[in-house]
Amino acid sequence: MIKSILHIIITDATLCSSISKELTDNYIMSFYDDVDAVLNGDDIQQPDAILCHQDLLERDEAVLLASLKTRWPESQILVIGPSRPIKVQIEALKHGARGYFDSALSISKLHDALQSVLHGEVWVERHVISGLIDELTHIPEIDQQQRQAIATLSPKELETAKLISHGATNKMIAKKMDITERTVKSHLTTIFCKMDIPDRLSLAIFFRDLR
């Protein structure tokens, strides 16, 4: 049997031990205690799936999940964590995860959840899917004024915006464009102002929809 490659990003040693015992027959597992360690590691093998604890995403979930998808577009992400409001689970799905596994469930169900996301399905409760559909129907359309504002962006600002839409972090953008992170932040401030866009996620959605 060919084992799937699974990267596990969790700080809880007890939980890691339980996961390791449960999944050892089906996965080749690598454990990390920080998302940045996975994103910035040079010799990390491409995973089939990534299991990441929700606590590690709280500082900037949109950017971190998008960055994981940018590095490994074919990998499926499953977020694990304690029971959370529907809104939290929906945000994880909107930012690139394929499901949210409630850690209160029996760990024996984790393999089923991973297999679901590996086969392109979504692992969440039905009412979460209903909430996601409701939210997506209310996403505002891009207006003509914003489209015209693209022409006012400098080449560097345009490149920054496009990289944001692919989930790049400020650090990744700075490295790719050979500029400082401070300059990246300056570009973003200017872009937000010129295009009347409130935040990074809105900017990412805007340029994603243009692709």
123-128 average pLDDT score: 65
Query: Bigger pLDDT: 128 or 203?
Result: 203
At which of 80, 105, 136 does a domain end? 136
Q: Does the structure show a pLDDT above 80 at 183?
A: yes
User: pLDDT value at position 202?
Assistant: 73
Summarised one tens digit per residue, pLDDT across range 155-177 is 999 999 988 877 677 888 899 99
User: pLDDT value at position 201?
Assistant: 66
Distance (Å, rounded) from C-alpha 208 to C-alpha 202? 10
At which of 118, 136, 154 does a domain end? 136
127-143 average pLDDT score: 56
Residues 40 and 132 in one domain: yes
Query: Bigger pLDDT: 81 or 129?
Result: 81
58-79 average pLDDT score: 87
pTM confidence score: 0.62
Domain that holds residue 154: 144-210
Residue that has been written with the tokens 């297999």 in this structure? 115
User: pLDDT value at position 53?
Assistant: 95
33-60 average pLDDT score: 89
Distance (Å, rounded) from C-alpha 28 to C-alpha 3? 6
Residues 120 and 160 in one domain: no
Residues 109 and 132 in one domain: yes
Write the CATH number for 52. Answer: 3.40.50.2300
User: pLDDT value at position 57?
Assistant: 87
Residues 187 and 103 in one domain: no
Share of the chain above pLDDT 70, in %: 88
Per the structure, how many domains does the chain have? 2
At which of 110, 136, 162 does a domain end? 136
User: pLDDT value at position 172?
Assistant: 84
Angle between helices 61-71 and 86-94 (to 10 degrees): 30
